[in-house]
Amino acid sequence: MNILQIQSSARADLSHSSALAAALVEGVRASLPDPAQARVTLRDLGRAPHPEQNEAALQALFTPAGQRTAEQAARVALDDALIAELQAADVVVIGVPMYNFGVPAALKNWIDAIARAGVTFRYTASGPEGLLKGKKVYFALTRGGLYRDTAADTQVPYLQTVFAFLGMTDLQFVYAEGLAMGPEAEQQALAAARVQIEEVLAA
């Protein structure tokens, strides 16, 4: 079993979303008949940010492979590596802080890299078809405030839409909210998230 662990917090050791994502990975691993068989790949977008899709990157992508300059080939290879990691994953675990009501730019750049026409989705006569099928995806969501199930939570509908578009519909969300609302609220939110992890792993 291949587990892809993605972190998108700008913070390293202090990140709650990364810690909860790591706990999800451990839970998935521990639930296997033989945990030693799990292969975990860590993609830390905070420590190693993926470049944005700017004009040069798009030009590189739309230049036929055999005609690319060395620089263009290297740029496309960066995206290819993320796509290959995702294609190889059976389970994907993503730590997602809320940054200004959206996902961190680091995660958006990853999504822009892995959503590639003809590779991870395609258009057919009956509409779009996601090509990343059969994967289970867990999200560890962390927020300073309280937004779950409100119109201000634009993260979850966005993630549901883009992952479903790519063929990934088996999604589970774990929330740690109110992390900026004082030490007690923070501790309660983190404890509640640990309970949710047990629940989603048992689902």
Ligand X SMILES: Cc1cc2nc3c(=O)[nH]c(=O)nc-3n(C[C@H](O)[C@H](O)[C@H](O)COP(=O)(O)O)c2cc1C
Task: For residue 129, give the H/E element and its range.
Answer: strand 127-130
Is the sign of the CA dihedral 73, 76, 129, 170 positive or negative? positive
Instruction: Note whether 43 binds ligand X by CB under 6 A.
Output: no
Distance from C-alpha of 82 to C-alpha of 26, rounded to nearest angstrom: 22
> Is residue 133 within the footprint of ligand X (CB under 6 A)?
no
Question: Does residue 17 bind ligand X (CB under 6 A)?
Answer: yes
Supply the DSSP string of 165-196, one letter for each residue: HTT--EEEEEEE--TTS-HHHHHHHHHHHHHH
Q: Which of 3, 4, 16, 114 binds ligand X (CB under 6 A)?
A: 16
3-state secondary structure 25-85: HHHHHHCCCCHHHCEEEEEECCCCCCCCCCHHHHHHHHCCHHHCCHHHHHHHHHHHHHHHH
Asked if 101 interacts with ligand X (CB under 6 A), we say yes
- Segment lying near ligand X (by CB under 6 A), choices 22-30, 49-57, 140-148, 160-168: 140-148
109 touches ligand X by CB under 6 A: no
Residue 26 near residue 38, CB atoms below 8 Å: no
Of the residues 24, 159, 179, 200, which one makes contact with ligand X according to CB under 6 A: 179
Nearer to ligand X, 106 or 179 (CB): 179
- Choose, by CB under 6 A, the member of 11, 39, 47, 122 that binds ligand X: 11
**For tokens 């309280």, what's the residue?**
146
* Binding residue for ligand X, selected from 5, 53, 120, 142, defined by CB under 6 A: 142
98 binds ligand X (CB under 6 A): yes
Closest distance to ligand X from the beta carbon of 164 (Å):
24
CA distance 79 to 109: 10
- Least Cβ distance, residue 10 to ligand X (angstroms): 6
Binding residues for ligand X, rule: CB under 6 A, are 9, 11, 15-18, 95, 97-101, 142-145, 179-180
